[in-house]
Structure 1
Amino acid sequence: MADWMRDLAVGQWYDMGQGPVEVVGIDVDSEVVLVQHFDGELEEFEFDAWMELRAQPIAPPEDWTGAMGCTREEVDDGVADVPRVGRWDDPLDRIDQDIH
């Protein structure tokens, strides 16, 4: 395995100079890196092309909702409606409850 591949992992974010991208797939057999741009667009790079990009690892963006096609408010709105389950609660006790 090439040295540059040791740090490459699915879920890692990179700056390619055009905004942040997340690695969403690595196909070693086909020698392809699949990335998802912040706006949701997918793009493939052959290993040679990926090395030429010299993409730099970065921390994930604070607002990760861009690729999800929703706003932070839409995500936050649904969280309060989900019932909290305690550590020792049996999830099967809630199977017939409608949480929508």
Structure 2
Amino acid sequence: MAEWLREVSVGDWYESAGERFEIVGVDAKTEIVLVQYYDGALDEYDFDSWAELEARPCAPPEDLRGALDAEREDFGLEERVAASDESSDPVGWLESHGL
């Protein structure tokens, strides 16, 4: 087994050529490393290609919505309005409604 393989784990983030990706699978039997880029694209590298890639560990992105390719509006959610008296006192609201 390749020595570098001991350092690669599913869930680790790497960067190569300015692109970040996450390891989503490692198959030692078929000698394949499966990755998912931030935008959701999937790719695989055989062990030789992985070594040539010279990928370096990096921190995961702060916003992991890249793979979802969706915005808040896509879910039909409206921006939250300023808190009203009812939302600032949920217990009082429940009591006033007999709940």
Q: TM-score, normalised by structure 1?
A: 0.68
In structure 2, what is the Cα distance between the partners aligned to 1:74 and 1:56?
Answer: 34
Structure number with larger C-alpha Rg: 2
More helix by share: 2
- Is there any run of 5+ residues in structure 2 with no aligned partner, and where? 78-99
Which aligned pairs between 1:20-35 and structure 2 lie closer than 5 A? 20-35=20-35
Question: Which residue in 1 is equivalent to 2:64?
Answer: 64
In structure 1, what is the Cα distance between the partners aligned to 2:18 and 2:72?
Answer: 22
In structure 1, what is the Cα distance between the partners aligned to 2:66 and 2:15?
Answer: 15
Q: % of aligned pairs identical? A: 49
Contact 1:65 1:72 in 2 (8 A): no
In structure 1, what is the Cα distance between the partners aligned to 2:18 and 2:46?
Answer: 18
- Is there any run of 5+ residues in structure 1 with no aligned partner, and where? 78-100
Q: Secondary structure at the match of 1:20?
A: strand
Superposed structure 1 runs of 4+ greater than 3 Å apart: 71-75
Question: Which residue in 2 is equivalent to 1:91?
Answer: none
